[in-house]
C-alpha cells in the first residue's frame, strides 16, 4: 500500500456521516454482480450521505462527474467499475481543468477485468476489500494528489478540432490501440473481456499490421531532435502499464503519478523483434523494462507530439477513440486528489 498522506479535507470519524458523496455505478462491470454492488452501496451509505447513480449510456459517468464538480455540495465521487468508468468520471471532474483543492476527491472501487488505475494506487483488486480500504482511508483522512495525462488534437493538424481528453494510466497510438479496438469489437458481439481475448486479438493485430517493419510515427519534443519511424508508441502515466491476470507488466518501469509521462516506442515489429520484446514485457519488473536497438524509452516528459504519416488507432485507458494522425500529450502534475 502506498504510504498515506494527510487528507486536506480530513474529518474526525464521528463527522464522516456528514460527508456528501456521489457513487457512480457501472452495471456492466465485469467482476461485480448486482448483489455485490448492492452490498457495497449499503456499506458506503452507512458511513456517509450517499447518492448512488447507475450509468445508462456511454459518457454518462463523465456527465455525472462534471455535475459533481460543478456542485457546491458533493465532496467525494466514488467510481464503481473498471478503468473505462474511472476515465469517464475523471474527465467529468476535470472538465473545467484541474483544481485539486476545489474539486471533489475521487475514490475507486474496482469492478472491471483489469483495474490498472486502482491497483497502481495500491488498492486491493477485490471490490469488497477495496471498499473496506476506502472507508478506512476516509476515517483516517488519507489521500494523495496524482498527476494525469492530457491528450488533444495538435494545432494545425487535421485532428485540431478533436477535444482534449484526460487519461489516468496509459495511452497509445498505433499497435496497442488497434488491439483495444479489436477487443471492443468482440465485446460488442457478446464476448467476455478476458486476458485470453486480449492475447488473441494481439496476435491478429500483429499479423494484420501493414507497418510493422517500417513505422509511420514521429515523436517530437520542444528543442530536441525528433524520434522517427516508430511502429508502436505507448504513453505511460504510471507503472505497471497493465496486468495479465495478477502479473504486472512494465512498459515504462520508471513512470510515476508524481512525474511527467513516459514513452515506450518500438521501431520494428518483425516476428523476431516481437518475440524478444514480448518476452521482455512478460518478464518485466519495476527495475527493468524492454530494452534493445529497436526500443526507445523516454522518461518524465511534459509536452510532446506524436505524428503519423497515416491515420492510426488511438486509445486512452483502454478505450478505443478512433483514428488519428497527430496527438499532442501533456503531463499535468498534481491534477486530482485521490482517496487511498
pLDDT digits (tens, 9 = 90+) for 191-220: 876 777 777 887 788 777 766 667 899 999
Secondary structure (3-state) at 56 = coil
Output 204 or 314, whichever has higher pLDDT: 314
Closest CA to 142 of 157, 161, 123, 164: 123
CB 85 within 8 A of CB 64: no
Mean pLDDT along residues 303-316: 96
* pLDDT for 255: 98
Fold of 5-140: Rossmann fold (3.40.50)
- Helical packing angle, 34-45 and 127-140, nearest 10°: 10
Q: Which helix (H) or strand (E) holds 213?
A: none
Which residue ranges does the chain devote to CATH 3.40.50.10330? Answer: 5-140
Output 333 or 185, whichever has higher pLDDT: 333
Closest CA to 315 of 221, 236, 244: 236
Closest CA to 320 of 87, 161, 42, 124: 87
Residue 26 pLDDT class (50, 70, 90 cuts): very high
Q: Would you call 233 exposed, middle or buried from its count of C-beta atoms within 10 A (0-12, 13-18, 19+)?
A: buried
Which residue ranges does the chain devote to CATH 2.60.200.40? Answer: 149-334
Mean pLDDT along residues 151-155: 95
Q: What is the pTM of this model?
A: 0.90
CB 312 within 8 A of CB 324: yes
Mean pLDDT along residues 81-85: 95
226-251: pLDDT as tens digits: 999 999 999 999 999 999 878 999 99
Q: Which helix (H) or strand (E) holds 337?
A: strand 319-339
Q: Give the count of beta carbons closer than 10 Å to the beta carbon of residue 41.
A: 19
- In the block, residue with C-alpha cell 478476458: 194
Q: Give the count of beta carbons closer than 10 Å to the beta carbon of residue 96.
A: 11
Closest CA to 179 of 151, 194, 199: 199
The pLDDT of residue 15 is above 90: no
The dihedral sign for the CA sequence 214, 151, 155, 298:
negative
Contacts of 92 (CB under 8 A, 6+ apart): 61, 62, 63, 64, 65, 66, 67, 68, 69
Indicate the pairing of strand 76-81 with strand 105-110: parallel
The pLDDT of residue 14 is above 70: no
The percent of residues in the chain predicted with pLDDT above 90, rounded, is 73
Closest CA to 167 of 187, 147, 184: 147
Q: Among 1.10.10.10, 3.30.70.1350, 2.60.200.40, 3.90.1410.10, what is the CATH number of 149-334? A: 2.60.200.40
Q: Where are the beta strands (DSSP E) in 55-153?
A: 76-81, 105-110, 142-153
* pLDDT for 211: 63
Contacts of 189 (CB under 8 A, 6+ apart): none
Residue 41 pLDDT class (50, 70, 90 cuts): very high
* pLDDT for 214: 72
277-299: pLDDT as tens digits: 989 999 999 999 999 999 999 99
Residue 161 pLDDT class (50, 70, 90 cuts): confident
96-120: pLDDT as tens digits: 999 988 999 999 999 998 999 999 9
Name the phi and psi angles at 303, rounded to 5.
-140, 130
CB 315 within 8 A of CB 177: yes
* pLDDT for 152: 96
319-332: pLDDT as tens digits: 999 999 999 999 99
Secondary structure (3-state) at 298 = strand
111-148: pLDDT as tens digits: 998 999 999 999 999 999 999 999 999 999 999 999 99
Amino acid at each position: 500500500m502506498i504510504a498515506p498522506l494527510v487528507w486536506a479535507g480530513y474529518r474526525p470519524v464521528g463527522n464522516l456521516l456528514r460527508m456528501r458523496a456521489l457513487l457512480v455505478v457501472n452495471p456492466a462491470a465485469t467482476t461485480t454482480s448486482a448483489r455485490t454492488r448492492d452490498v457495497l452501496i449499503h456499506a458506503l451509505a452507512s458511513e456517509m450521505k450517499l447518492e448512488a447513480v447507475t450509468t445508462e449510456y456511454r459518457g454518462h459517468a463523465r456527465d455525472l462527474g462534471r455535475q459533481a464538480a460543478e456542485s457546491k455540495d458533493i465532496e467525494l465521487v466514488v467510481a464503481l467499475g473498471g478503468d473505462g468508468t474511472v476515465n469517464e468520471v475523471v474527465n467529468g471532474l476535470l472538465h473545467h481543468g484541474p483544481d485539486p483543492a476545489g474539486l471533489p476527491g475521487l475514490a475507486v472501487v474496482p469492478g472491471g477485468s483489469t483495474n490498472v488505475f486502482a491497483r497502481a494506487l495500491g488498492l486491493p483488486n477485490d471490490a469488497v476489500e477495496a471498499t473496506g480500504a476506502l472507508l478506512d482511508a476516509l476515517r483516517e483522512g488519507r489521500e494523495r494528489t496524482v498527476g494525469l495525462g492530457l491528450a488533444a488534437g495538435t494545432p494545425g493538424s487535421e485532428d485540431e478540432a478533436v477535444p482534449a481528453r484526460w487519461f489516468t494510466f496509459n495511452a497509445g497510438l498505433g499497435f496497442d490501440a488497434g488491439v483495444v479496438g479489436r477487443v471492443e469489437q468482440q465485446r460488442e458481439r457478446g464476448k467476455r473481456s478476458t486476458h485470453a481475448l486480449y492475447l488473441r486479438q494481439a496476435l491478429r493485430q500483429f499479423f494484420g499490421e501493414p507497418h510493422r517493419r517500417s513505422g509511420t510515427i514521429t515523436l517530437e519534443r520542444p528543442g530536441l531532435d525528433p524520434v522517427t519511424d516508430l511502429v508502436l508508441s505507448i504513453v505511460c502515466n504510471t507503472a505497471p502499464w497493465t496486468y495479465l491476470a495478477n502479473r504486472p507488466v512494465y512498459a515504462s518501469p520508471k513512470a510515476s503519478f508524481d512525474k511527467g509521462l513516459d514513452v515506450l516506442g518500438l521501431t520494428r515489429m518483425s516476428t523476431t523483434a516481437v518475440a524478444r520484446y514480448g518476452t521482455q514485457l512478460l518478464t518485466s519488473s519495476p527495475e527493468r523494462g524492454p530494452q534493445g536497438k529497436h526500443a526507445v524509452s523516454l522518461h518524465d516528459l511534459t509536452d510532446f507530439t506524436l505524428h503519423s504519416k497515416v491515420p492510426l488507432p488511438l486509445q486512452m485507458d483502454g478505450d478505443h477513440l478512433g483514428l488519428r494522425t497527430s496527438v499532442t500529450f501533456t503531463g499535468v502534475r498534481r491534477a486530482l486528489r485521490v482517496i487511498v
